[in-house]
Amino acid sequence: MLVYLLALCIIISNMKKQKILIVGGGFGGVKAALGLVDDPRFEVTLVSDMPDLRYYPTLYHTATGGKNANSSIPLARIFYGKEITLAHGTATTIDRKFKVVSTEQGQSYSYDSVVLALGVVTNFFGIPGMKEYAYSIKTQSEVARFKAHLHQQLIQEEKLDAHYVIVGAGPTGIELAGALPAYLREIASSHGLRTAKPHVDLIEAAPRLLPRFPKDMSRAVKRRLKRLGVKLYLGSAVQATSAEELTVNGKPIRSHSVIWTAGVTNHPFFTANNFVLMARGKVAVDTFLQTEENIFVVGDNANTPYSGLAQTAIHDGATVAANIRRKASGKNMKSYVAKAPISVIPAGNKWAAVQWGKITISGYMGWVLREAADFIGFKDIEPLDRATKQFMTEFERDDACKVCIAAGSPAF
Ligand SMILES: Cc1cc2nc3c(=O)[nH]c(=O)nc-3n(C[C@H](O)[C@H](O)[C@H](O)COP(=O)(O)OP(=O)(O)OC[C@H]3O[C@@H](n4cnc5c(N)ncnc54)[C@H](O)[C@@H]3O)c2cc1C
């Protein structure tokens, strides 16, 4: 028996390994890689333009006093001790004939199968001034820039901005609008403004908050934000913004702090490389999430029913990894089954709205479910001990503010 096992090991180790290239180190790419790295039949390479997995669901928390580590998981840590090549690079082209993906940095990576998981990019819909003057919270560096602005303004002007305006009442806009008033009060107080009252405005072009979610959820969130003192502009179009003010429905709102959360579009890689695109610019995929033979597309990039959610990207990555393993075993690939998500949207301290099928839950219980969802999210990526540590970063204080330190301000 032992001899047979030994012989089998020798045969496997002498077999030519299949090259699996994964492009994009976010939810979909990381999950696909995790599903393949322990299989000796594959040589796995993960190319990403960032050294970490950006944990988007907690970015709003990092933007409002949470630790940077809470929304960033280093790829080197996720794959510690695993047989994988982690490469830094920005993919620009794919050569289907020679099966090679090339990067802006001049590197080329060959593949037998490739998984594309590049995520989406911000779209300002051509609104004048938005790209130049608005803040975003889609990356750690954008979050750092936004926080630096808030502190800089308090140091220089010794008062709060006239208005803090969030554009877009989708999940990100709601999360930020819920947490921002308390954060502004906290930092204003630490800068000596103990009675300052921030004006936080939320603007949405659709007639209701969370236009893509059920009405019950919109109503619950609306009540909550009003209670937190957030001013809502529904059915309101932003026409332009400048360094001094934002124009909404033809009227100005004075603000140096406009935060754009209203739009994303698919990654330009796909148009640049002539992929077949569907509604909202998503890539057409077959029932195995393949767009062409041996080219898989997952997560936000793929045209699937629940594309645009981390839960979907994780499910897609796991499905594709399982199918690549099945194919290598000479089995038929299994058809993709879309998984209906559970939506959990926090709005302020210990409050969240949850949509689970037809049921809406809001309040403290919603927040408990949100905590559970985050823990499961971390656990989907790392083993229990590391996932627990990652989860606990939520309860740690913000990193020291570099702007305040540089200005010699005691407040940070
Ligand atoms: C602020 C915010 C909050 C969110 N909150 C939630 C939530 O609470 N729940 C939920 O389910 N979903 C949430 N989402 C959506 C969710 O984060 C996405 O659906 C999910 O990240 C998609 O996973 P992905 O793998 O397709 O893309 P991503 O996770 O975006 O990963 C793409 C990766 O590719 C890298 N990359 C980009 N371009 C290149 C290139 N040219 N070459 C190499 N690498 C590249 C990126 O740096 C990134 O690492 C939120 C999104 C945002 C922006």
In a domain, 55, yes or no: no
Same structural domain for residues 366 and 242? yes
Nearest CA to ligand 1 atom 26: 299
Strands, E assignment, 123-212:
164-167, 200-204
Q: What is the pLDDT of residues 307-330, one digit of tens each?
A: 999 999 999 999 999 999 999 999
119 CA → ligand 1 middle, Å = 5
Domain tally for the chain? 2
- Beta strand pairing call for 264-266 and 42-48: unpaired
Kindly report the CATH number assigned to the domain that includes residue 402.
3.50.50.100
Classify burial at 196, counting beta carbons within 10 Å of its beta carbon; exposed 0-12, middle 13-18, buried 19 or more.
middle
Same structural domain for residues 204 and 309? no
Region of 22 please: left (phi>0), alpha (psi -120 to 50) or beta. Answer: beta
Q: Is 261 helix (H, G, I), strand (E, B) or coil?
A: coil
In a domain, 159, yes or no: yes
pLDDT in tens, the chain (412 residues): 555 655 555 555 556 899 999 999 999 999 999 999 999 999 999 999 999 999 999 999 999 999 999 999 999 999 999 999 999 999 999 999 999 999 999 999 999 999 999 999 999 999 999 999 999 999 999 999 999 999 999 999 899 999 999 999 999 999 999 999 999 999 999 888 888 899 999 999 999 999 989 999 999 999 999 999 999 999 999 999 999 999 999 999 999 999 999 989 999 999 999 999 998 899 999 999 999 999 999 999 999 999 999 999 999 999 999 999 999 999 999 999 999 989 999 999 999 999 988 888 999 999 999 999 999 999 999 999 999 999 999 998 777 787 788 877 765 5
Global pTM value: 0.92
Same structural domain for residues 100 and 146? no
Same structural domain for residues 187 and 247? yes
Classify burial at 74, counting beta carbons within 10 Å of its beta carbon; exposed 0-12, middle 13-18, buried 19 or more.
middle
26 CA → ligand 1 middle, Å = 6
Same structural domain for residues 110 and 241? no
- Measure the CA dihedral 170/172/175/181, to 10°: -100
Final residue before a domain boundary, out of 328, 361, 378:
328
Do 258 and 167 contact (CB within 8 A), yes or no? Answer: yes
Same structural domain for residues 273 and 350? no
The set of protein residues with a Cβ atom below 6 angstroms from ligand 1 is 23-29, 47-50, 54, 56-57, 59, 90-91, 117-119, 137-138, 171-172, 267, 269, 299-301, 308-311, 313
Same structural domain for residues 370 and 313? no
Same structural domain for residues 151 and 190? yes
In a domain, 380, yes or no: yes
Q: What is the pLDDT of residues 71-102, one digit of tens each?
A: 999 999 999 999 999 999 999 999 999 999 99
Same structural domain for residues 295 and 366? no
Same structural domain for residues 148 and 214? yes
Same structural domain for residues 224 and 240? yes
Distance CA 367, CA 290 (A): 37
Domain region containing 402: 130-262+343-406
Same structural domain for residues 135 and 167? yes
